[in-house]
Chain A
Amino acid sequence: MDKLLKDYIKYYETRMNKYKGNPNYKNSYETEKALYEAIASCEKLEDFKDKVEKGNLAVRNGVALVKDKEKIQNEHYNKLKEFVRAGASKEILETLEKKEIKTAMELANLCTEIEQKHHLKITLDELGTSQFLYDYFILENIEVWQNAEVVNEFKKEINEEWPNDTINEGHKQWKEQILPNNRAWDPKWNMDYNLIFNEERHRRKIPFPDEIVKKRFEQHKKYRGI
């Protein structure tokens, strides 16, 4: 047997063994095994090319690796209850189940398109929580100023003017900057307090008791004029 063919057989055997017994890469092991068996049964290296093309083995191998990796990612995000982040892998896996992929380029394009779409969904999902957390200390300040017992000389300034000026500035920023910026991502975007409160992926980022968070939501609506 030609040395180059022998070298290639060893190479494909090494590739196959990389996944052997690894429960995370079952699909890849099967398609690597098919490639190995194809080359191991060749008498000439030229025959291998025909076998790979006939069985579309290289593309099937690529699809298998994508399936394995997306399955790992999907399980990972679901375990963390990061359901929006799990969306891309879920859609890629579902699409690969239904669709026969003919070329490597088709596979690459499919993954890129789906990931891009879900990247936008992740950004949109996180906009409200980030804004609420960013504003949180200001909401406390407004409450502090409104309720602080202060000497008469500064009563109006602290209890009324400071909170009102801050709220007016909050409305202005919301109308002129924050809302237009967020709607550049999605024209229908709105602050969704139920999402922040009920979805664990958001609620876990806010280290305050439920009752306080609910109170801050109401204050946030007033602060931003929502």
Chain B
Amino acid sequence: MKSLKKVVYLSFITVLSLVFTSCLSVGQTNFSYYERGLDRTPENSVIFYGMYYGANEMRYSQDDFNYSPDSQVFTGRLGVIVSAPVEPGSHYHLEHVKAQIITYQVGNYREIATIDSDIPKNYKGLDIQVPSEPGLYYIGWWEVVKTVQNGENTPFSGDEAFCWDLTQEEGEIEVLGAAKKAYKGTSWEAVIDERLNELNAGDK
């Protein structure tokens, strides 16, 4: 009986690790990574990437008048965000989000909500100010019951049961794996590989 338990336990662990490692990928988007990556290269553009774990659909829109309008939709169960190459210096607002449970920041308040909603312009907690330097930009990752404060994932309710215990660096490696698949065959692949190697070297 004991060995059976062990087998069940081990297979459970294997399944879990399969779910949580290396199978991250971007969901559906309203654009093609390949096409957008043709003229927007690592020399003149930025890719922002991260994860909003718990969101099923997100729409980010560029809202700075000095740059051209752009709207990117990310759909997927895990809330992986890998943007199409965007203009350095532009500003993206999370306009619409569909999620079951999510935390976000409103000024000093943190809230848990079930939403399928347009996010007001004065909710800036999840806005993205794209850096003016071209290249990769990691926006971090958020969890269902955690929120980001001062660059750190902060537990929201003390309920750690649903937390996926990953550091920001580990999260970045996960999302970069998805980004690498999405940008296969473009000039961005080499840049992503470079960053992955850097992160893996830092681990050791």
Do the two chains bind? no
A interface list, Cβ under 8 A from B: none
B interface list, Cβ under 8 A from A: none
